[in-house]
Each structure stands twice: as structure tokens, then as C-alpha cells.
Amino acid sequence: MRVAVSQFATSSNSQENLESCVRMINKAATCKPSVIVLPEYCNTLFSNAQVGNASLGKSQSCYVDHNQAWNEALPIEGEFLQAIAQQAIKHVCYIVLNVTLRRDQSRNIPDTQQNSSFKSNISVTSCLFSPLGDLINQTDKQTLIGYESDFFTSVSKEPEVVVTPIGKFGLLTGNDSMSFEASRELALNGAQLLCNSINTFAIDQSSLHDPARAFENNIFVATANKVAVLIPSEQMEEDLNLTNVGAGQSQIIAPNGKILAKLTNNEEGFIFADIDLTEVVTETEIQSNVGLNHKSRPDGTQFSKQLRPELYQALTEAIKQTENTKGAPQYESTDKVPLTANVAIFATYKSNEQAIEDVCQYIENNVTDIIQLPELFFIADKTVTHEIEQRAQIESLSKQLIEQVSAVLRPFQYLCTSLIIEGVHQAVLINEHGLLATQQQLHFCQRYQWTPLGDELTIIELPLEQGNIIIAMLTADDANIPEVVKVSTLHGIHVLLVPFDIQEPSEVAYSLLSRAAENRICIVAASREKSFAHQLAADNTSDNIYGKNKVKEQKSTGLIANLTTDPALLPQWRTRQFTGYINQPLVKLQYGKITKAVVHPIAACSKV
């Protein structure tokens, strides 16, 4: 089937906007698509950007008042949506568009001007029309931010999957794709294609979050964004800048995060891609390459076997109970959180005892606060762990590592890796006194199928010379599961340490970066270097302030994901010119044997 996405501008004139929608539908229809996706706010002009000078007290939203919001919203049975329905019939295709809808009759009294401060029941709703012209689904925007909360409400139930003869669709709107929850819920319910209507000046979604949503759920994502000005024309002359202009970048993404088609500009247009949502039903199973239930890891692990919703719920409930306990620790204060921490990834190419000696030599010659190693860093071939005798040997080496490393670590210096201790694969944190903390592997993976899984999350308040930071550790495939990273963040962590073994390029190109961005945490993740046959067009890693590192295209390793911070907190951190991102982690890709960086734990105290 063929999917098309379209990007264009709107105004405050509903009739003009209808004409624009029809024009762009007709243009996109020339490629004979099965589905056409249009942007958010197709019927109006709305942006969360402030209009006017906030410092002079003249800041306001795009809407003057609630009367304007109501006047520009659409009745469900009105001319606008009826015209879109006719386009669906005309072109024999599904059409997705997002509009503001009047959800009651509160302002429909003829010739009566309502109180302009009275908020109406208006939703921001994505509508799906069938080729028969039927409105078969309405999905309200779940995440209302900024000025949206002033004018709009969300009145429908949680997003639902729409089953059609050509595939299973889920509808997303705006910031709903900036975190994993809405997409995951749709994927768990069988979605194969997410139709995502957005209205943004930033490129965070197109470069990072959309590919991450596709990869983590094994589904296609089709995103349509606005172009041109996002504010009313009367404010254009004094306020026109990059944060008031739609970024465009509409695209269609494959389940592995690869971009199939993209408009790499912010000009009016459309683009399309052919995708396959075919399911083959046999007597014993449903065969498909798309969908969360059909997602598998390169080592053969079925992703559906990895998810542990009961664990996430139990861990979250435990946090809530702790927060309700008198005298419970609070991690929100920035008083003792250090501005910076020195971290390093060390990836030895040696094995067994020689690898341990290599690490000890590095420690003796460096004063890094935290040294991150890959999982079971002294074992090149992880399949040897399937043999009991080999595991016993690895466990002996693990004890040797703890003894030798703790003997050379300085005060306030730590090393993180994963080891086998008492028959269990777990992340470990070592200091000068020995084994400081452990984190048992939480999710099943085929390469460590023999290990028992943990049911607890270890949160460590780690003393550094410059202050204390809160950290968590995740190993094996655990950091690829957004649910457990979210739980870690609820504990107030500043830094996540990840000793892992990369299985797919998208883990680093999208997944780990998205975890850092949506949770506002620093991530230090180390892996042995791997080669992959197919590389991704990952333009999100181009925002690399440490530009000295140039990773070979066929190689993938780990990374250090840092956060931007307020210049007031870190004087030497200058305000950067707007690059199109509003919350993009600063990336230093692991390269070679040693990768060093300075991270900003204090930035994790500020959530966007």
C-alpha cells in the first residue's frame, strides 16, 4: 500500500484552510495513495509560541480570547469535514487530518456574544475518513501543553486502533509522539501504522522521536507537519523568527527507524512511500514483519516476551508509597547536585585477564569520576555463557576484576560494567572498597537466557568530590525498554549507566537518545564495537558538540548523551543559537578505545 504525507500552511480563515486542504489532497492523490496524512490544526492557525514581547508584559497566545477559539473550531457535521469526506470518496483513499472541534453547543446561541473569558469545550482531534467518506475514528490529542490547555480539552477515551481492510491504524497528534506512552499503547493493541499530525517549529520529532517510536514498536510512522508562519499575520513583522515557522520535514519511517521518504525542507509539498502491512493467517499463527507482537531482536529474542508490565506497575507503586511516607528522601533539590561530572567509556580489545589488566592500567593513569565499560567487557563472544563451565570461569574472572579494579580506584571514582555473580548476570558499580552496588538484569534476552531476572531497581546516591548524583544501572536489553527507564527517572536519577552489547544501530541512533531526551537524563552507554550491513540515515547525531569523533559508517558502538543546561547554572555554557531543536541531547559517540566527556547532572533537575 502507498502512504502519502502532506505539509502546507494555514491561516485564521477557515474557508482558506479548507481550500488548502483540498488542494493538497488533490496533489497527493496524483500518486494514487491508499492513505493521505495531513498536519495538525488544519482548520486554524495556532502555536504555543508567545506572541508579543514577554519582557514588556505584552505576551499572549495566538487566540485573542475564547470567542476566537470557538469561532475557528469546526462543528462535526459542518461543511469543512463534509468536504474532506467527499475527497476521500473521490480519491478512494483514507484521509487523516487534525482539526479543532466544537464538542457542545455552549456558544451556539444565535446573535449572542458569549463571555470571552469563558472556556468552551473544544478538542484538538485527528479524524480518519474511509474511502466511503465515513468518519470512522476521532482521536483527541492527549498531551495538551502551554496555551493549548487554556483553550482546549481532551474529551475522548484513550487512542484506539482502527482496523481497516488494508491495515491497523493508530492516530497521534502533536506532542503525543514526544514520549513513548501513546505510541506504545497503540502498538500493544495491534497498530501497524501510526498517522501523526503535528504543528511544530522544532525538528526534535522528525529527527529523533518519530524514528524512535517506529523502532521501539516495530511499526511504520507517517508524520505530516506545518510549514510557513504559525502565528497570525498581524504579528509577523515584529515576531517572525525560526520559532514561529513550521519546520516541515514530513516523513514516512520504517519499523527499523529508517526514513523511507522525507521532505527535507519547510516548503509546501507532499511525499509518499510504499509499505507492506500484510498479515498471513495460518492455522497456528499470524505471520507478519510489522507490529509489536512480531518484533524480535537479532539474537532471536521475541520482544513480547521481554515486556513486564506487572513489574513496571509494581515499581511505580513502590515509588508512590515512598513519596507518601513521612521523611522519604527527596531528590528534587539542586543544592548538592554537581554542575558537572567527568565520565569515560573504556572499551578494551583484549579478553579475559589481559582485559582486566588493560582496564587497571587505564584507571591508574586517569582521574575520571565514572568509568563505563561494556557488558561482560572481557568476553568477546557472549554465546560462551550458555555453557555452565564457561560461566563458572567468567564468574571467577568477575571476582578477580572486582579485586584488581578496587585496588587502583581512587576515592570518589567508580567503574560500571556487567558481571556474572552467583550465577546471575547483573550490572555492577565498583569503588575503592570493592563492590558498591549491583543491578540484576530485568528483562529476558536470548543471549543470557540462563540468568534469573530481577524484580527490583537499584537506585544509588553516588558521592562525587563536587557533590552527590543519583544514578541507576541497566544492562543487557534493559535500557531499550522505555517503561523501565521511565521508572528509573521517577526516582529522580541524573545519570543512567548502561553496560550493553549493541544488537541494532537504532539502539544508539534513536532509542537511547530518545530515552535521554524524553526523561531529561544523562546516559553513558558502552558496547563492544559491532558492524552492521545496513546503516541508518541518523541525522540526529550531527548535533555533536564534540565534533572530533568521526565514527566509521559501518560501525556502531555506544554513546555519551549529555543535556543542555541553563547558562545561569553553568556560566561557561553559552546560550546556543537556535538550531531547530528544543530538547536534543548533546551526543558524543563512543569511538576507539577511550571516549571522554563532561556531563551536566544538574541539567537533569530541569524537565522540559
pLDDT tens-digit map of 440-482: 999 999 999 999 999 999 999 999 999 999 999 999 999 999 9
How large is the average pLDDT for residues 377-395?
A: 94
pLDDT of residue 534: 57
Judge whether 263 and 250 are in contact, CB under 8 Å.
yes
Confidence band for 146, pLDDT divided at 50, 70 and 90: confident
Residue keyed to cell 552507554: 525
pLDDT of residue 64: 86
DSSP alpha helices (H): ranges in 298-413? 303-306, 309-323, 352-364, 388-408
Confidence band for 285, pLDDT divided at 50, 70 and 90: low
pLDDT of residue 538: 45
How large is the average pLDDT for residues 311-322?
A: 87
| Cell (9 digits) for 501 | 552489547
Which backbone phi and psi does 590 adopt, to 5 degrees?
A: -60, 130
For the stretch 118-141, pLDDT in tens is 788 899 999 999 999 999 999 999
| Cell (9 digits) for 513 | 537518545
What burial class does residue 400 get, using C-beta atoms within 10 Å of its C-beta: 0-12 exposed, 13-18 middle, 19+ buried? middle
How large is the average pLDDT for residues 554-563?
A: 87
The residues, ordered by sequence, that sit 6+ positions from 127 with a Cβ below 8 Å of its Cβ are 81, 84, 96, 97, 98, 99, 135, 137, 138
Average pLDDT, the chain: 88
- Is a pLDDT exceeding 70 seen at residue 106? no
For CA atoms 517, 519, 521, 526, the dihedral sign is: negative
Rounding to the nearest 10 degrees, give the CA dihedral for residues 514, 519, 524, 526. Answer: -40
pLDDT of residue 554: 56
| Cell (9 digits) for 285 | 499463527
SS3 assignment for 75-107: CCCCHHHHHHHHHHHHHCCEEEEEEEEECCCCC
- Which amino acid would we find at residue 469? I
pLDDT of residue 320: 76
pLDDT of residue 112: 47
Confidence band for 142, pLDDT divided at 50, 70 and 90: confident
Residue keyed to cell 557533590: 467
- Range scoring the smallest mean pLDDT among 12-26, 51-65, 193-207, 237-251: 51-65
Confidence band for 57, pLDDT divided at 50, 70 and 90: very low
pLDDT of residue 107: 65
Which of 575, 519, 517 minimizes the C-alpha distance to 203? 517
- Is a pLDDT exceeding 50 seen at residue 114? yes
Instruction: Give the separation between CA 345 and CA 557, rounded to whole angstroms.
Output: 11
For the stretch 217-244, pLDDT in tens is 999 999 999 999 887 766 555 545 666 8
Instruction: Give the separation between CA 463 and CA 471, rounded to whole angstroms.
Output: 10
Rounding to the nearest 10 degrees, give the CA dihedral for residues 560, 462, 465, 365. Answer: -50
Judge whether 462 and 470 are in contact, CB under 8 Å.
yes
Instruction: Give the separation between CA 85 and CA 480, rounded to whole angstroms.
Output: 40
Confidence band for 531, pLDDT divided at 50, 70 and 90: confident
- Which amino acid would we find at residue 375? E
Which backbone phi and psi does 395 adopt, to 5 degrees?
A: -65, -40
| Cell (9 digits) for 556 | 556502531
Q: Which residue has the higher pLDDT, 519 or 323?
A: 519
Longest dimension (CA), the chain: 86
Q: Which residue has the higher pLDDT, 204 or 288?
A: 204
pLDDT of residue 267: 92
pLDDT of residue 552: 47
When computed from its CA atoms, the radius of gyration of the chain, rounded to whole angstroms, is 26
pLDDT of residue 278: 87
Q: Which residues pair with 414 in a beta bridge?
A: 370
- Is a pLDDT exceeding 90 seen at residue 143? no
- Which amino acid would we find at residue 300? G
3-state secondary structure of 471: strand
Residue keyed to cell 530518545: 514
Instruction: Give the separation between CA 159 and CA 140, rounded to whole angstroms.
Output: 8
pLDDT of residue 540: 46
3-state secondary structure of 197: strand
- Is a pLDDT exceeding 90 seen at residue 111? no
How large is the average pLDDT for residues 246-259?
A: 95
DSSP alpha helices (H): ranges in 94-235? 148-151, 181-188, 204, 210-217
Judge whether 343 and 596 are in contact, CB under 8 Å.
yes
- Is a pLDDT exceeding 90 seen at residue 36? yes
For the stretch 484-515, pLDDT in tens is 999 999 999 999 999 999 999 999 999 999 99
pLDDT of residue 547: 44
| Cell (9 digits) for 102 | 466544537
Q: Which residue has the higher pLDDT, 526 or 105?
A: 526
pLDDT of residue 105: 73
pLDDT of residue 543: 45
How large is the average pLDDT for residues 575-599?
A: 87
How large is the average pLDDT for residues 573-585?
A: 74
Instruction: Give the separation between CA 588 and CA 583, rounded to whole angstroms.
Output: 16
Judge whether 471 and 291 are in contact, CB under 8 Å.
no
Instruction: Give the separation between CA 489 and CA 492, rounded to whole angstroms.
Output: 5
- Range scoring the smallest mean pLDDT among 65-69, 157-161, 259-263: 157-161
- Range scoring the smallest mean pLDDT among 14-23, 40-49, 219-228, 521-530: 40-49
Alpha carbon separation from 491 to 59, 487, 523 (Å, rounded): 36, 7, 15
Which of 608, 525, 594 minimizes the C-alpha distance to 564? 608
Judge whether 496 and 479 are in contact, CB under 8 Å.
yes
Confidence band for 542, pLDDT divided at 50, 70 and 90: very low
Confidence band for 83, pLDDT divided at 50, 70 and 90: very high
How large is the average pLDDT for residues 166-173?
A: 96
